Amino acid sequence: MKAELFNGIIGYLEGISNLVSFYGVCYAHSYKFIKYDDVKDINECVEKFYNESPIKEHRTRIDSIWELDDWKNDLFENCCDWFFRVFSMRNFEVSIEDEDGNTMPAQKSKKSNRVFMGLLNRLEEFFGNDDLKVYKLFIDPAWVDEYAWEQYFFQKGNEFYVLSFFQEGLN
What tens digit of pLDDT does each residue of 7-33 get?
A: 999 998 999 898 888 776 667 889 999
Contact at 8 Å (CB) between 107 and 113?
yes
pLDDT value for 10:
94
H helix runs in the chain, sequence order: 2-23, 42-52, 71-89, 114-127
Instruction: State how far the Cα of 46 lies from the Cα of 160, in Å rounded to an integer.
Output: 10
Instruction: State how far the Cα of 122 lies from the Cα of 75, in Å rounded to an integer.
Output: 13
pTM metric for this prediction? 0.88
Most confidently modeled range among 9-23, 24-38, 63-77, 79-93: 63-77
CATH says 2-164 is which class? alpha beta
Contact at 8 Å (CB) between 111 and 97?
no
Is residue 96 predicted with pLDDT exceeding 90?
Answer: no
Is residue 140 predicted with pLDDT exceeding 60?
Answer: yes
Is residue 88 predicted with pLDDT exceeding 80?
Answer: no
Cβ neighbours of residue 135 under 8 Å, at least 6 residues apart? 42, 46, 65, 66, 67, 68, 152, 153, 154, 155
Contact at 8 Å (CB) between 62 and 46?
yes
pLDDT value for 153:
98
Instruction: State how far the Cα of 93 lies from the Cα of 137, in Å rounded to an integer.
Output: 29
Instruction: State how far the Cα of 161 lies from the Cα of 100, in Å rounded to an integer.
Output: 39
Mean pLDDT throughout 54-71?
Answer: 92
Of 132-136, 145-149, 161-165, which gets the smallest average pLDDT? 145-149
What is the percentage of the chain residues whose pLDDT exceeds 90? 53
Residue ranges of domains in the chain? 2-164
Mean pLDDT throughout 50-54?
Answer: 94
Mean pLDDT throughout 61-66?
Answer: 93
